[in-house]
Structure formats: structure tokens, C-alpha cells
Chain A
Amino acid sequence: MSEPMPQANHEAPPRLPTDWKGQAMQKRISSRYASERRFRLIGLSAIVMSVGFLAFLLISMLSAGISGFTRTEIAVTFDFPKAPIMVDPAMLDSANADRLLSNANLPAVTMQAARTALGKKGEDLLSPSAWVNVREAIKNDPGILQRVETLSLPASTEIDIAAKGDGTEEAETAYARLDEAGLVSSHLNMDFLTSSDATDPSQVGIWGALKGSLLTMGVTLLLSFPVGVLAALYLEEYAPQNRWTDMIEVSINNLAAVPSIIFGLLGLAIFLNVMHMPRSAALVGGLTLALMTMPVIVIAGRNAIKAVPPSIRDAALGIGASPVQVVFHHVLPLALPGIMTGTIIGMARALGETAPLLMIGMRAFIASPPGGITDPATVLPVQIFLWSDEVSRGFVEKTSAAIIVLLVFLLSMNSIAIYLRNKFEKRW
């Protein structure tokens, strides 16, 4: 600096050295340190609040849903020899047991036994589908038809809720009476994992929705993975710098940010109304979600391909590989773990997606698991949405239980992605 010092400085009073030990300065420093601590505390509490909210959400879902995996059962004594079952036990070993038993009037037999065992209106304490359990018991051991047998049958929704401590007064007293008689027990509800949607909460299961989800995800993966990877390879390795490439890049980046419900509108307008594909089918759901997942895979794929060092390409080109051989023999295998990670994350997002599937009609009541990708189906998140709308109180725990299943799937997919990333990630 060759400029002369400003004139004003000459007239300023001589500066005293700062008195760090002085009272004013100490006070100032301590207040600055206090503000530092406050700020740090605010940051920590922001984290704690966020994590605490997550914990609150998970714990409240877990506590509300864990009881959905158990069911209350009531012991009912059946006097089979006296019951009007016109079935020869010897015939029941054969394959037509179902047909024989469908004529055996089991619902009436069950009702009668319930009335005898549990008093008047005893059948109201049992689930409407209790006779199915009786049928299964007979099929497992036809011998019980010759003796008096006590079977444990699922209780009605009201009793089930009362057993879990949240029932109506009437149901609570009925449950207390049963409990005193030692008739009730709590069991793991395997039917919840193996049956499909029903109107009565004591009979619902998630298998139908889960199978719909798996079929939909299958279609999504089959379409979005190859297209996504090939598009990523083209854009990263071969695309010339021109207006077309720019347009492709812009549209992929925009598609990744388009709200999911817009994809649902697209599916509704194009796949259903123009192409007349079957409504509510896993095929249409999978197509719609594939369009949504593809940009995610392209973006993840491009990052993974970009991370492969150019020296690999140069080396392969140098010993005479063609550009296609360079990419498919060397770049793609090296980038694959990264692409897989991105794909799993994209698939996890698609698995939790609800809104676009509502648009294409996957919210129908589906009482049997779909047989193929063109059958009407529903998926797990939509099933959760449908159950959350139900008035019956029995659905609350079923909804939370279904949420637990969904979260288990999502968290395990994400953990696999993180594991893959950590195991195969290479720093060049």
C-alpha cells in the first residue's frame, strides 16, 4: 500500500491495549460463550427433535400394530358325534374333503356349539369365519368327528379388541366372563400373513396386497432397470453434445422431480383411457411406477458410471477393444454396484408409493390374491390407505400391523443398498 494513511488517524486518541481481564470484557466474553453454548444446544435439540419424531412414529406404529399379529381365541367344546355332520370320517382322507365338508353345514354346527358352550348369542363372540377353522381342524384329523373335542376358535373383533384392553363396555364384560371361565387364549395370527382383504377385521390378511406389491415391483424392475441402465450408459458414454442430448438430460432431471400423482394422471390418461389396458392391474401399476423409477436409476447410474476412472477406458481402447466392448466389458461391470444401490433405493421408493396407484384404480376391494399381472390387484401401501379409512375399530391395529410389514420391507431394502454400497464401493 503506497497510499498515505488517512488524515483522521492522526487525530484519533491513542488506543489503549484491550483490557482482557477487565470486568466489562470478561462479561462480554462470557456472554459470547453463553450464546455459543445456546446455539450449539439449539442445533443439538433440532437433531434430537427430528430423531425423536422418527422414534415416536416408529414406536407408536409398533405399539399399535404389534397386537395385530396376535388374535384372541376362545375354546369351544364340540360334541361331534351328536352334531348333524353327515360325513364319513373315512372318506376325508381323500382329495375331495373340501367338497364333502362344504355340504356338512359346518357354520350351523359351529353356531350350535358356540351357543352351548358360551351361552345364548354365543356365536356373536366368535369370528364370522370361525367355522373355517373347524373345517381345517376336521381336515387335519378326521378322527375328532368321533369324540368330544375342544377347539380354539378366533374371537369376534369386539372381543379381540376387548382382550387387547380397548373394547366397549359390553364387550369388556363379555370378555371378563370368558376370561374367568378360562376359555380365552392369545395366539400368533398366521392368517394375517396368509389371507387377503375382508370386510371383517378379524379375517383380514395382507397376503393379497403383498402379492400385488411383488407383481407390481416385478413389472417395474423388469422395465425400469434395463431402460434406466441403457439410458445412463448412452448419456454418459456415447451421447454427442447436441440439442437432443440436452433435451434428454433436461427431461430426465425434471421427471425425477415431478410429483408422483402426475405419473398417476399419465397412467390414467394413456394406459387406461388410450391403450385400454386392464384397470386395477399390476401391469399398469408397474408401468406407471417404472416411468417414475427410471429417472432415479438413470441419475444413480450416471453417477456410478462417472466414478469409473477414464484410465480403465483408455486401457481397454488401447489394446483394441471397440467402444461398445469397452463399456459392456469394463465400465458396466465396475459401475454395477453403484447402479444396483440406486436401483434398490428407487425400488424402495416405488414400493412405498400410493398416490399414482390410486389414480389407476388399484384401490378396489380385492378378496383373493391376484393370479397374474393382468388381474385386479392392490398393493400394500394402498391396502394401508384403504384400511385407514375403515370405520370399524378392529382395523386400527391391522393398519398398523400392515405398516410394520411395509416398513420391514423398506428398511431391509435400504439396508441391503447401504451394505452393497459399503462392500463394493471402490475409491479409485
Chain B
Amino acid sequence: MSGIAIVTMVLGLGIIAWLSARAKATRLAQAGASPVPNTRTETGAHKAVSRPILHSLPVYHGWYAALWVLGPALLFLSIWANVMPGLVTDRVLQDPAAASLPTEGFARSAILGEARNLALGDSNVAFDTRAKALVEPYRQANNFYSSGGGIVALMLAFAGGAYAFTRIRPDFRARTRVERVVMMTLLVASLIAIITTVGIVASLLWESMRFFSMVNPVDFLFGTKWSPQSAAMGYGNEDAFGAVPLFWGTIFIGAIIAMIVAIPLGLMSAIYLTQYAKPAARAWLKPILEVLAGVPTVVYGYFAALTIAPNMRDFAAWVGISNASSESALAAGLVMGVMIIPFVSSMADDSINSVPQSMRDGSLAMGATPSETIKQVLIPAALPGVVGGVLLAVSRAIGETMIVVMAAGLAANMTLNPFASVTTVTTQIVQLLTGDQEFDSAKTLAAFALGLVLFIVTLLLNIVALQVVKRYREAYE
């Protein structure tokens, strides 16, 4: 019996249980209702009449039975699916044909894996004759355990259904039971967020700890030489994992160049949209600006690498900068700045809009022009909100990956020259993890340490930004 067939049968039983339990409850309701004359027995029998007799609507009895059929059986199947491969392997190893297997772990598991693929039909070529000998025992063991599991699951389904069916009585509180399960499901769904967070923190911490057992954390955080390739080639881990040039490159592109583009453009756009633009123009321009945020980053990256970067290099050559790189920090930062404009603009929009109208009116009534009002009243009042928005934008920019992977370079330089090539944390994470995949080298584990730093920094930026925005909102509410 295959897994899908068993699950389908269990689901079928669930539907049968739902239907029959509901039918039984409906009958009970009608039986209870029949002595009462002059009620709507034809149309809405179970709804209108059953209430004094039946505690719950028949449909809840149906759900109650279905849950009893599905719950235990599916739970058992999901556990069984994880336990079964081990049991099958144990049984195969007891077979006389398995006695000739090598005791050494890797060769042994390779042969077993081959036999499993042959037995399950995933492949039909055997490279090892010993694997061929194991196919038959494997198939037998697999059949034994999968049909055993199937039978147990079906028995559980029947037992659950029978138990639920016997409990259907007019005064049985089926709805309460079903709703308790619903509430449990809701709670579990919302706990997934916590599980994800814990998963992120745990996996980053765990792999970073392995990295830091090879490389001194102080060297990592304060070293100025980054060359994981040389470490991978066996020149040792000292002096290869100094991440300061990466941090500088990330700040240079994401927090300096991108913000020089995004803050003025985003802020002025927000000011124009909220203070000057006619409502009709605003209704059009705002969604258009939001499209900028919806363009996938891979498109921005391609655009930066294909169109902007060569132009930047030519421009640098024209100005007279000799060593301009075609993977300049400027090209990546510029395009990233454009991507960030909508974030800055919508945050500034919100905070300018929440400055009380009376402040604006007061300033205008004193004879200030609109621009004087904006510069001397609105912006100072909205400043905390704007700063919060900018912090959020920075956290977004330094976590951005594709633009820098495609347009920024790989050379870990510490330079102030925007036409030179710098590299960033995210670029290096991608670079470190998309080559060979041995999971014990410092080179691949360094990616997780970089990820941990990125996670902590973006988290702190977000917390600070949200605090700033929150405190500012409270000031005017």
C-alpha cells in the first residue's frame, strides 16, 4: 500500500464519518422534535426545531466524528513516515544477504541507498552487485512495514470514528469540543512565527559557533583583511576572515550612497505629494512611486550592472579618475537609492500627515509662505518620524542582496572612492555559499557568521526605528 493510497482512504473515512454522524444527529433532532407540533419540520428541521433537544447543530457532530477519524490516524501516519525508514533498514540488515556489506559507514550507506532506490523504483541501474542482492529483502521489508502502518492507521481511524459515533447524543456538547480544536489550531498557527524566529536565531548561532571555534571572533569583527579563498586553499584561517572591509562596503553602499540618493528624493517627493500636488495628481503619482518598490531587486541589479555601471565608468574616465571600476560602489548605491525612495517617501508622508493641522494653519496665518511653513514648522515637527523612516530604509538597504551581488564587486577594499569596487556582507554570503558545499570548512560557515551580524544589526535598527516612530506618534496623539 502506498502512502498516498492510505491517506486517501483515511480522508475518505473522514468524509463518511462526517456524513453519517451528521445524519445520525439530524435523526435524533427530528425524533426529538416530532412530538412538538406546528414547527418548520420540512424546511429547516435541524436548525429550527432541534435547539431545545440537541445541544449542538448536527454539522458539529459531523465535524466531531471526522476529527476523531482523521486526527489520530494522520498523526500516527506522520510519525510512522519518519520512523519507518529506520525500521526497514534494520530489517534489511538482518537479512543474510546483508552480511557481506562493508562495515565502514559511507560505503555501507551508499549500497543501502542504491538498494532502496531500486526497490522503490526511483532508479533502475545498479552499480554495485551487492545492492542488487539487497533489493528483494528491501522490497519485502518495505511492503511489510508500509502495509503494517496502513493497517494500524485504518484501525485507528475506525476506532476513532466508532468512539465519536457512540457519543452522539442530544445533550452531547459537540460544538464545544470542535471549537476547542479550532482554537488549538489558531494558537499553533500563530506559534509558527515564534518557531521561525527561534529557527533563524538557532541556526545562525549554531553555525556561527562552529565558525568561531575555528576563527577568533575578535579577528572576524575587527580584522581588516578578507580573503576566504586563501583560507580555503589551506593558508590558514588567520588573517583571512577580517570582516571590516565588508562592513565598510555595506555601510558605504547601503547607508551612505543609497541614502544620499533616497533621502532628498524621497523626502521632497513626500513633501510635494502631501503639500502641493492636487488630489488627482496625488492619486496617480503615489501608486506610480509604489511601483518602484514592487520592481524585483534582480531587475534593479541587472539594470545597474548593464546600464548604470558602464556609464559610471565612462563618466569617471571622462572626469579623469583613472582606476574606475566597472563594478563601482556608486552604480550599486545609486540604484539601491532609487529602490529605497518609496520607503523613505511613504514614511515621510505618514509623519508629515500626522503633524496636527493647527500647527500648519498657525504658521500660515502668521504670514509664512508654504515653503517656510514646511521648512520651519512641519519638518522639525515630523523629524522623529522621518528619522525612523530613514533608519528602516537603511536596515532594508544593508540587507538587500541582488543589486549588490550583480552590480558591486567582490574585491574587499576599504576606500572612500565611490568609483572603486567594494564588496558587501550580502554579496559575500552569496559568494561563500554558492560554490562547493562542504559544511565543515570555515569558508562556508563564515557566511552564517556574516548572516548573524546582518540579522543583529537589522534587528537593532528596526527596534530603534520603531521606538522612535512610536514615541513621536504618542507626542501628537
Interface residues of A (CB under 8 A from B): 32-33, 35-36, 38-40, 42-47, 49-51, 53-54, 57, 60-61, 64, 226-228, 230-231, 233-235, 238-239, 247-248, 251-255, 257-263, 265-266, 268-270, 273, 291, 294-295, 298, 322-324, 328, 348-349, 351-355, 358-359, 361, 363, 381-382, 384-385, 388, 396, 399-400, 403, 406-407, 410-411, 414, 418
| Cross-chain contact B268 with A43 (CB below 8 angstroms) | yes
Query: Which of B7-15, B27-35, B101-109, B192-200 contacts its partner?
Result: B192-200
| Cross-chain contact B454 with A322 (CB below 8 angstroms) | no
Q: A259-B458, A384-B298 given as contacts; is B199 within 8 A of A51 (CB)?
A: no
Say how far B189's CB is from chain A's closest CB, in angstroms: 4
| Cross-chain contact A262 with B451 (CB below 8 angstroms) | yes
Is B68 an interface position by the 8 A CB rule?
Answer: no
The interface residues of chain A lying within 8 Å CB-to-CB of B264 are 46
Query: Which of B92-100, B164-172, B425-433 contacts its partner?
Result: B425-433
| Cross-chain contact B207 with A269 (CB below 8 angstroms) | yes
Which of B190, B307, B454 gathers the greatest number of chain A CB atoms within 10 Å?
B190
The interface residues of chain B lying within 8 Å CB-to-CB of A50 are 265, 269, 289, 292, 338, 341, 345
Interface of chain B: mostly helix, strand, loop or mixed: helix
| Cross-chain contact A388 with B302 (CB below 8 angstroms) | yes
**A266 CA to B433 CA in the complex, in Å?**
13
| Cross-chain contact B372 with A42 (CB below 8 angstroms) | no
Say how far A210's CB is from chain B's closest CB, in angstroms: 14
Those of B392-429 within 8 Å (CB) of chain A: 392, 395-396, 398-402, 405-406, 426, 429
| Cross-chain contact A54 with B406 (CB below 8 angstroms) | no
| Cross-chain contact B451 with A265 (CB below 8 angstroms) | yes
| Cross-chain contact B268 with A42 (CB below 8 angstroms) | yes
User: Given A32-B372, A382-B298, list of 16 further CB < 8 A pairs?
Assistant: A43-B269, A47-B268, A50-B345, A257-B395, A257-B462, A261-B429, A265-B451, A266-B196, A269-B207, A295-B193, A352-B296, A354-B401, A359-B429, A400-B302, A410-B294, A414-B294
Say how far B269's CB is from chain A's closest CB, in angstroms: 5
Count of CB-CB pairs between chains A and B under 8 Å: 245
Those of B47-69 within 8 Å (CB) of chain A: none
Between A and B, 25 residue pairs with Cβ closer than 8 Å are A32-B372, A43-B269, A46-B269, A47-B272, A247-B194, A248-B191, A258-B200, A258-B459, A259-B398, A261-B430, A262-B204, A262-B399, A265-B203, A269-B207, A291-B196, A322-B179, A352-B295, A354-B296, A354-B297, A358-B434, A381-B402, A385-B405, A407-B295, A407-B299, A414-B291
The interface residues of chain A lying within 8 Å CB-to-CB of B356 are none
Say how far A14's CB is from chain B's closest CB, in angstroms: 22
**A50 CA to B191 CA in the complex, in Å?**
41
| Cross-chain contact A231 with B193 (CB below 8 angstroms) | yes
**A258 CA to B400 CA in the complex, in Å?**
10
**A382 CA to B296 CA in the complex, in Å?**
11
Those of B147-201 within 8 Å (CB) of chain A: 175, 179, 182-183, 185-187, 189-194, 196-197, 199-200
Say how far B294's CB is from chain A's closest CB, in angstroms: 6
| Cross-chain contact A49 with B265 (CB below 8 angstroms) | yes
Say how far A418's CB is from chain B's closest CB, in angstroms: 7
Interface residues on B, range: 35 or more
| Cross-chain contact A355 with B430 (CB below 8 angstroms) | yes
Which of A32, A251, A273, A359 gathers the greatest number of chain B CB atoms within 10 Å?
A251
| Cross-chain contact A261 with B186 (CB below 8 angstroms) | no
Those of B344-362 within 8 Å (CB) of chain A: 345
| Cross-chain contact A233 with B272 (CB below 8 angstroms) | no
| A266 (CB) vs chain B CBs: closest residue | B200
**A174 CA to B23 CA in the complex, in Å?**
80
| Cross-chain contact B451 with A235 (CB below 8 angstroms) | no
Is B25 an interface position by the 8 A CB rule?
Answer: no
The interface residues of chain B lying within 8 Å CB-to-CB of A49 are 265
| Cross-chain contact A54 with B291 (CB below 8 angstroms) | yes
| Cross-chain contact B182 with A254 (CB below 8 angstroms) | no
Say how far B17's CB is from chain A's closest CB, in angstroms: 21
| Cross-chain contact A352 with B297 (CB below 8 angstroms) | yes
Is B77 an interface position by the 8 A CB rule?
Answer: no
Is B305 an interface position by the 8 A CB rule?
Answer: yes
The interface residues of chain B lying within 8 Å CB-to-CB of A258 are 200, 399, 455, 458-459
**A357 CA to B386 CA in the complex, in Å?**
33
The interface residues of chain A lying within 8 Å CB-to-CB of B398 are 259
| Cross-chain contact A259 with B182 (CB below 8 angstroms) | no
The interface residues of chain A lying within 8 Å CB-to-CB of B401 are 259-261, 354-355
**A43 CA to B271 CA in the complex, in Å?**
7
Is B439 an interface position by the 8 A CB rule?
Answer: yes
| Cross-chain contact B298 with A352 (CB below 8 angstroms) | yes
Which of A239, A252, A363 gathers the greatest number of chain B CB atoms within 10 Å?
A252
| B399 (CB) vs chain A CBs: closest residue | A259
Say how far B265's CB is from chain A's closest CB, in angstroms: 5
Specify which of A40, A226, A348, A385 is in contact with B402 (CB 8 Å cutoff).
A385
| B397 (CB) vs chain A CBs: closest residue | A259
**A215 CA to B239 CA in the complex, in Å?**
44
**A247 CA to B203 CA in the complex, in Å?**
19
**A358 CA to B256 CA in the complex, in Å?**
27
**A49 CA to B287 CA in the complex, in Å?**
15
**A53 CA to B175 CA in the complex, in Å?**
58
Specify which of B298, B372, B392 is in contact with A385 (CB 8 Å cutoff).
B298
The interface residues of chain A lying within 8 Å CB-to-CB of B80 are none
**A168 CA to B199 CA in the complex, in Å?**
53
**A47 CA to B192 CA in the complex, in Å?**
41
| Cross-chain contact B193 with A47 (CB below 8 angstroms) | no
Say how far B83's CB is from chain A's closest CB, in angstroms: 15
The interface residues of chain A lying within 8 Å CB-to-CB of B291 are 54, 411, 414
**A172 CA to B111 CA in the complex, in Å?**
57
**A19 CA to B406 CA in the complex, in Å?**
63
Q: A265-B204, A270-B203 given as contacts; is B268 within 8 A of A33 (CB)?
A: no
Question: Contact string, B264-304, partner A, CB cutoff 8 A, digits 1/0?
Answer: 11111101110111000000010111011011111111110
Is B369 an interface position by the 8 A CB rule?
Answer: yes
Q: A227-B189, A230-B186, A355-B430 given as contacts; is B196 within 8 A of A54 (CB)?
A: no
The interface residues of chain A lying within 8 Å CB-to-CB of B248 are none
| Cross-chain contact B296 with A47 (CB below 8 angstroms) | no
| B271 (CB) vs chain A CBs: closest residue | A43
Question: Contact string, B299-318, partner A, CB cutoff 8 A, digits 1/0?
Answer: 11111011100000000000
The interface residues of chain B lying within 8 Å CB-to-CB of A363 are 434
| Cross-chain contact B455 with A35 (CB below 8 angstroms) | no
Is B206 an interface position by the 8 A CB rule?
Answer: yes
| A252 (CB) vs chain B CBs: closest residue | B193
Say how far A228's CB is from chain B's closest CB, in angstroms: 8
| A268 (CB) vs chain B CBs: closest residue | B433
Say how far A220's CB is from chain B's closest CB, in angstroms: 14
| A292 (CB) vs chain B CBs: closest residue | B196
**A403 CA to B297 CA in the complex, in Å?**
11
The interface residues of chain B lying within 8 Å CB-to-CB of A355 are 297, 401-402, 405, 426, 430
| Cross-chain contact B296 with A406 (CB below 8 angstroms) | yes
Is B370 an interface position by the 8 A CB rule?
Answer: yes
The interface residues of chain A lying within 8 Å CB-to-CB of B459 are 254, 257-258
| Cross-chain contact B399 with A260 (CB below 8 angstroms) | yes
Those of B242-276 within 8 Å (CB) of chain A: 264-269, 271-273, 275-276
| B190 (CB) vs chain A CBs: closest residue | A231
Is B447 an interface position by the 8 A CB rule?
Answer: yes
The interface residues of chain B lying within 8 Å CB-to-CB of A45 are 268
Q: A39-B374, A291-B196 given as contacts; is B183 within 8 A of A324 (CB)?
A: yes
Say how far A352's CB is from chain B's closest CB, in angstroms: 3
The interface residues of chain A lying within 8 Å CB-to-CB of B392 are 257
The interface residues of chain A lying within 8 Å CB-to-CB of B441 are none
Say how far A249's CB is from chain B's closest CB, in angstroms: 9
The interface residues of chain B lying within 8 Å CB-to-CB of A44 are 272, 276
6 closest A-B pairs (Cβ-Cβ)? A259-B399, A352-B296, A43-B272, A46-B268, A230-B189, A269-B203
